[in-house]
Amino acid sequence: MTSKEQLPQSVTNLLKTGRFIHLATSYKDFPHVSLMNYTYYHTEGNDYIIISTPTCTTKYNNILQNPNISILVHDWISVKNGSEAETGEPVSSKRRNSLYELLANLNKNELSRVSVMINGKAEVIKEDNEKHDFYKSLHLNNAKIDEVQSKNYIEDKDNAIVLITIESCKVTDTDNNVVEY
């Protein structure tokens, strides 16, 4: 994407509100997919995703060898109540508070809309880079909901901060309509 092109609002909303992405890296024709916590960052017409990863991982080594990445982010949800998994009885067959059901169904209808495939370039931001602490602080602030995750995946001394520049994206909705940006 050039700096003049913008991601559609549905994509930026999803990136701003989501917590996890599926990150695909590859080296020597061997793909590797990881579930990642991320931070979306937009500035001066450019869109970025910030992640952190231990330096001993396959994804880190793949990024060093091949910065081309692909990301899947979606808001399609499938939620099973623990009792359904235990008894096999669908949650909908149990008596529920009607307000809860209304809100749950509204929430599902609002969320179940798109899947976004993003292509980009990943760059490991070295600690001596003047932007390292800035990107790290953005990612830490976004992950404050989960203090354990922040410590384990962002603050650990053996972790790297990775900046992904979004170059293109493909949006698919529940009706299988596909639009490329």
Question: Is the Cβ–Cβ distance between 56 and 109 less than 8 Å?
Answer: no
Element (H, E) at 136: helix 132-142
Q: Structure tokens of 78?
A: 């499938």
Q: Strand pairing of 159-173 and 20-27?
A: unpaired
What pLDDT digit, counting tens, does each position of 104-117 carry?
555 454 445 778 99
Burial 52-84 (b: 16+ CB within 10 A, else e): bbeeeeebbebbeeebebebebbbeeeeeeeee
Name the average pLDDT for the chain.
81
In degrees rounded to 5, what are phi and psi of residue 61?
-65, -40
Give the pLDDT confidence score for residue 73 in this predicted structure: 93
Percent above pLDDT 70 for the chain: 71
Q: Tell me: the pLDDT tens digits for 27-75?
A: 999 999 999 999 999 998 899 999 999 999 999 999 999 999 999 998 7
Domains within the chain, CATH numbers bracketed: 9-78+94-180 (2.30.110.10)
Write out the E strands in the chain.
Answer: 20-27, 30-37, 39-43, 46-54, 68-74, 114-125, 159-173, 178-180
Residue 143 confidence (pLDDT): 74
**34: three-class secondary structure by DSSP:** strand
Tokens of 156: 């650990």
pLDDT at 158 over 80: yes
